[in-house]
Amino acid sequence: MSSLSSVNITILGSASAQPSSTRNHSSLALRLDGDVWLFDCGEATQHQIQKSSVKMGKIQKIFITHTHGDHIFGLLPVLAGRLNGAGGTIDGVDDPRAHAPPEDVPPLEIYGPLGTRAYVRHGLTYTHTLLGAPYVVHELRLPTDPQEGDGTALAPHPYERPGRNFLQSEDGAWRDICRERLVAVSAAPILHSVPCVGYVVNELPVPGKMDPKKYIPELKRTNTPMSVMSRLQQGESVTLSDGTVLHGPARKPGRKIVILGDTYDPSPIAHLAEDACLLIHEATNAHLPGIDPNTKDSDTYEIVEERAKSRGHSTPQMAGAFAKKIRARKLVLNHFSARYPGNDDTDEEARKIMGRIRELAESTFGGEVICARDLMSFDVGPRKDA
């Protein structure tokens, strides 16, 4: 396989700091040909997975944007659920999970800023959680962070494998922190009230469009097996028996998905995020006079924006402006205040509120905008320009 056959996103949680009856804390699942990568694990993410079509056993990687509780408090339960974790046994009863796993068992990989490794290690250790498979935590270190070490003196959990500490490149990015056969992930800091990261998931270049009429006559003329068409489709060059060289179509850019954590200014990641097929950007607060009954009479948009920024967050207009700046194809808004209901698919008042939030983002973006809703699921199709 030379390109992904299926890319899907399921929103597991779309709330900000306070969850509501219709919005869970932050998390989303990115499914790549069946494998599942989670981005953030707020409280009750495991419950949301159980309500969705996402398979717990398919989770291979977890990416944490920052260590605020609404983005990480669900990480340990997900680890325990995914890796057969539970409490131990009484003295004298052997539990195979008390012993280190075989070295040939691949670990579940976790990526996050400084503190992620210590949080997981302390949480598993002091809750006496045993695991049935290994994990590893890689950290994205800022220049002001310790460049080495684990950030804690506590001994590693028996099932913890040594992780890497990634240092920023000259442009401020952490490039290729994860590289699979068809996908690579890079990251960069974004501005929030605490250290925060945005992730860019890049599908590697895909085969270009092939015109068989350009190749088949040459293959027949030289009695070359038609099986070489598969090599040409992959962009390879093939030398025929008479010395003629056929060149396969050039590869085209694959899909690019940009997933941001909380931010009032994501500009440090802009150079990585350009021409994204999909941008996921927070929109915690909005000014909705005449629509949201909780809107203060004294508020103006400028006041709401300044208030959001002071807390490290964005408005729909700010999200739309960044989407336009990076020439994103589509924008998904998430991380909504608890005052904005997540049942706009069934409730008319909620539909009016979320519809207006979408319009505000469209006013500065000009492209397609979707307001995330818990358990919403959608595919990310191949690039139309590929």
Would you please indicate which residues are annotated as catalytic (active-site) residues?
70
b/e per residue, 39-67, with b = 16+ CB within 10 A?
Answer: bbbbbbbbebbeebebeeeebbbbbbbbb
| Strand partners for 11 | 28
- CA-to-CA separations, 13 to 10, 194, 232, 263, 276, in angstroms, rounded: 9, 21, 43, 17, 22
Residue 2 token pair: 């030379």
Give the chain's end-to-end CA distance (angstroms, integer).
17
User: In what helix (H) or strand (E) does residue 279 lie, and over which residues does it extend?
Assistant: strand 278-282
Q: Kindly tell me the burial class for residue 384, based on how many C-beta atoms sit within 10 Å of its own C-beta (0-12, 13-18, 19 or more).
A: exposed
Q: Which residue has the tokens 């990251």?
A: 187
Instruction: State the Cα–Cα distance between residues 340 and 356, nearest whole angstrom.
Output: 11
CB 253 within 8 A of CB 378: no
Q: Which residue has the tokens 């605020």?
A: 68
Question: For residue 228, which amino acid is it?
Answer: V
How many H helices and E strands in the chain? 10, 18
Instruction: State the Cα–Cα distance between residues 77 and 12, nearest whole angstrom.
Output: 15
